[in-house]
Amino acid sequence: MIADKELPQIDIPENWIVGTDITKELLSMYANYPVRLKCEIFAFIADGEVDVLVNTNRYQIRANEFATLLPGSIFQINEVKGNIQIYFLGFSSQFVNGTGRSRSLIDTMLFTLGRPIISLKPVGVRIIAGFMNLLIDIFEHSSDAIKEGLAVNAFEDIHKGISLLYKDKGDEKVSFTKGEQICRMFSQLVIQHYSHTRNVTWYAQQLQITHAHLCTVVKQVSGRTCIDIISSMVIMDAKSQLKSTNLSIQAISDSLHFANMSFFGKYFKRYVGMSPLEYRNNG
């Protein structure tokens, strides 16, 4: 049983890592309950299929598709099929949060948030596979000092590549209105901060817009209210803790920053239709 007060978190112990050694057994470690990414991960599926939940949305990632998982993303493996082969490139939370890297991260977020999976054209497959293999070769045959020096270049190159891949999708819109940008920025903030605040005004302040404008824009763009988006993340986290940990309901309430257990219970029941204890025992 998990003893943490929040979702299990995944990070990378060094600035960056690249490879292909992802097996079905490794992926199965993240099945049945969600985990939160502190790091940023890019994955190219060369073979096989992965059924995955990313921020409450379900995707089937198949061969020749590319996935971008931003820091703060919550994901859960549902099923792995076939002879899985995955190229992956990851950057630690400490590295991602370093000086000068926020612009690249925001640009990538605007393209990928809400659509983290992209199908690659044949030329895209060749470029990504070639890029990943080059990085793997460098990573495996370079000193630690050289690898550290290359981290910034690898980070900038993959983010620029993501933008090019999405721009190359002629059947999809790749330019965003101001409203779409606000909605995507709001969604990313929620992913990062829902466990600490459910106050829509706080999110509006971070985006430097009014509460009313944020609510209007999010509803127009997504068809959902700000409260819907925030509550979906809170409830997913609460469900995970109730089912995958032995924490008390009080501890779970505290981890999600509810004023008290009674308020948490009412909030949970409003969205789930049963109390936290009923969900833990019977849900």
Residue 20 CA to residue 14 CA, distance in Å, equals 17
Mean pLDDT of the 266-273 span: 94
Residue 230 CA to residue 209 CA, distance in Å, equals 18
Sequence-ordered list of residues with C-beta below 8 angstroms from that of 242, at least 6 positions apart, any chain:
249, 252, 276, 279, 280, 283
pLDDT for 197-229, tens place per residue? 999 999 999 999 999 999 999 998 888 899 989
pLDDT for 25-65, tens place per residue? 888 888 877 888 889 999 999 999 999 988 777 899 999 99
Q: Does residue 3 have a pLDDT over 50?
A: no
Class of domain 9-167: mainly beta
**What's the pLDDT band for 4 if we cut at 50, 70, 90?**
very low
* DSSP string for 157-224: HHHHHHHHHHHT-TTS-----HHHHHHHHHHHHHHHHTTT---HHHHHHHTTS-HHHHHHHHHHHHSS
Residue 90 is given by DSSP the state E
Residue ranges of the domains in the chain?
Answer: 9-167, 178-282
pTM of the model: 0.68
CB atoms under 10 Å from CB of 228, counted, come to 13
Q: Does residue 283 have a pLDDT over 90?
A: no
Q: Does domain 178-282 have CATH number 3.40.50.920?
A: no
Gyration radius (Cα) of the chain, Å = 20
pLDDT for 97-127, tens place per residue? 765 666 676 677 767 766 789 999 898 899 9
| Percent above pLDDT 70 for the chain | 90
Helices (H), 29-143: 93-96, 102-112, 122-141
* C-alpha 205: how far from chain center: 23
